[in-house]
Structure 1
Amino acid sequence: MTDRADELTLVAIVEFAVGAEAAGQRYEDAVLALLERHGGRLEQRLHGTDGQTEVHVIRFAGRAGYESFLADPDRAALRAALGDAAPTTRVIEVHEV
């Protein structure tokens, strides 16, 4: 059992490239599916009303899981395949108040 104090909660703000929204969403589908192998889970996925943005709330059992997710070669390959059409993402570490 994981100590909740070790958990890492992130909010990812994902901006899709103009004209590549569908490709960006497919990329996010594939990348989010990799979370579990690193002790992560998607808590919430929200689509912006602008059609250009998604917001993800993601929780990892610990920082090491997040770091291994970032280094995942499958994730890197998916991103490389998308090239300039890859979304940009801002990640914010958060905690409950």
Structure 2
Amino acid sequence: MTDRAGALTLVAVVEFAVGAAGQRYEDAVLALLGRHGGRLERRLRGTDGQTEVHVIRFDGRAGYESFLVDPNRAALRTALGDAAPTTPVIEVHEA
């Protein structure tokens, strides 16, 4: 959901396959946020070591949409193949 200023806040629940490749992928992908008007507000790691929760904010929906189709992001995901994390994303707002 976008707020009155047009900002979009998302929560991503990242579930890693076994191994550290998924975490390296997330490090690289999160570094791309800024070029799309996005920023990582919180990055929390589950005690199981296989799950992270990211709170991400974009200046607007267009930035999020451009992030999703970023060719560098797509290339990173393709390179990781089946080891790529699964990541449901939820749009959120302050209650």
TM over 0.5: yes
Alignment of 1:16-35 (within 5 A): 16-17=16-17, 19-20=18-19, 22-35=20-33
Deviation at 1:4, TM superposition (A): 5.2
Displaced runs of 4 or more, over 3 A: none
Aligned counterparts of 1:81 and 1:54: Cα–Cα separation in 2: 21
RMSD across aligned positions (CA): 1.1
TM-score by length of 1: 0.93
Aligned residues between the structures: 93
- In structure 2, the gaps of 5 or more residues are none
Structure in which a larger fraction of residues adopt helix = 1
SS at match of 1:87: coil
TM-score by length of 2: 0.95
Letter in structure 2 aligned against 1:78: L
- Over residues 1-29 of structure 1, what are the superposed CA-to-partner deviations in whole Å (9 max), with x where a residue is unaligned? xx853000000000001x22x11110000
- In structure 1, the gaps of 5 or more residues are none
